[in-house]
Amino acid sequence: MDVNEGLKREIGVWGLVANSINIIVGAGIFILPVIIAERLGTGSILAYLICGILMIFIMLCFAEVGTKITRTGGAYSYIEDAFGRYAGFITTNVFIFGAAVMANAVVANGLVNTLAYTDFRDAPLAEAARRMIGPAGATIVIIGALFSMFGNISGMVLNMPRVLFAAARDRVIPLPGLAKVHPEFLTPHVSIIIYACLGFIFASPGEFKQLAMLSSASYLLIYLGVVFSVIKFRINRRTEEGSYIIPEGYFVPGFSAVVIIWVLSNLPLKELGAMVIFISLLTLIYFILKIFKLEK
């Protein structure tokens, strides 16, 4: 099989760098601070610090398990190797349809809110700039935010349909039409159209805060799976020559798991119920596919 799968690969180094920056920045920096400040007040600064430390711990877990599992697939490969096909199926679908699609819907809502900016809740940084510098300051921040959010959406639409394409190609998602390649443009055109439609469907009735919580919860579930993978491989004494081991024994993965579970348990009941229903539906689909031999 052609290693390029028939897809065009012409993004280049600087295009990849710009795309990565756009995905990292997104909409959160422009809108989330006011939501967190409303709930935590001055404690929001401490909350950001704690979350930063937690992400360092989680990335250490990725580093350890990544030196043990070297095949392509990232979190999906780590979790599947540790806990089997069912866990890998759940991870892939939570990543595509929970984390990524929801994240796109969040940014789309943030883009609309910024365009319709009326008070500080719609664009808190713009409002802060307006009070410090005047209308020109608000205009500059809004223009920067629009470029960032549009770039984030463009980057995700560039990247994620290829994940959808790969999942269909590998029969993790039993929809072979998603693995089609456009004969002229050499792009996964069906996956692009489906992914964009899903983003529109979730963004239209959704609200920024709810979508942000659902997307974040999806990412936390994946992070939790990776953290548990580290613990599982250690218990099974699975090591590779030259693999990285996080110091201080089980403290980092154990602490990370406890904090992630605590955060997930504090989701509002509506969002928590939505995640439970989502995982239950994926579980049902998995076993239906297994019964009818459609799952890889």
Residue 31 lies in a domain: yes
Contacts of 238 (CB under 8 A, 6+ apart): 68
Write out pLDDT tens, residues 94-130.
988 888 888 888 888 878 877 777 766 677 777 778 8
> What's residue 1's pLDDT?
37
Contacts of 62 (CB under 8 A, 6+ apart): 75, 78, 226
Claim: this prediction has a pTM higher than 0.75: yes
Residue 45 to residue 193: CA distance in whole angstroms: 40
Residue 193 lies in a domain: yes
> What's residue 3's pLDDT?
44
Residue 98 to residue 92: CA distance in whole angstroms: 9
Amino acid of residue 275: M
Write the secondary structure of 228-283 as one string of H (helix), E (strand) and C (coil): HHHHHHHHCCCCCCCCCCCCCCCHHHHHHHHHHHHHHHCCCHHHHHHHHHHHHHHH
Mean pLDDT of 46-58: 87
The CB density around residue 267, as the number of other CB atoms within 10 Å, is 17
Q: Taking the mean position of all CA atoms in its chain, how far away is CA 238?
A: 28
Domain count, the chain: 1
Percentage of the chain beyond pLDDT 90 is: 14
Confidence of residue 135 (pLDDT cuts 50, 70, 90): confident
Q: For position 273, which CATH number holds? A: 1.20.1740.10
Contacts of 98 (CB under 8 A, 6+ apart): 214, 215, 217, 218, 221, 275, 278
Residue 251 lies in a domain: yes
Residue 4 lies in a domain: no
Residue 123 lies in a domain: yes
Of 55-69, 72-86, 117-131, 144-158, the least confident: 117-131
Residue 140 to residue 114: CA distance in whole angstroms: 12
Residue 1 lies in a domain: no
Residue 7 lies in a domain: no
Residue 157 to residue 100: CA distance in whole angstroms: 10
The b-or-e profile of 40-54 (16+ CB within 10 A means b, else e) is eeeebeeeeeeeeeb
Range of the domain at 182: 13-291
8-state DSSP, 176 = G
Q: Where is pLDDT greater, at 50 or 8? A: 50
Residue 29 to residue 36: CA distance in whole angstroms: 11
| Cβ atoms of 250 and 69 closer than 8 Å | no
| Cβ atoms of 108 and 199 closer than 8 Å | yes
8-state DSSP, 95 = I
Residue 90 lies in a domain: yes
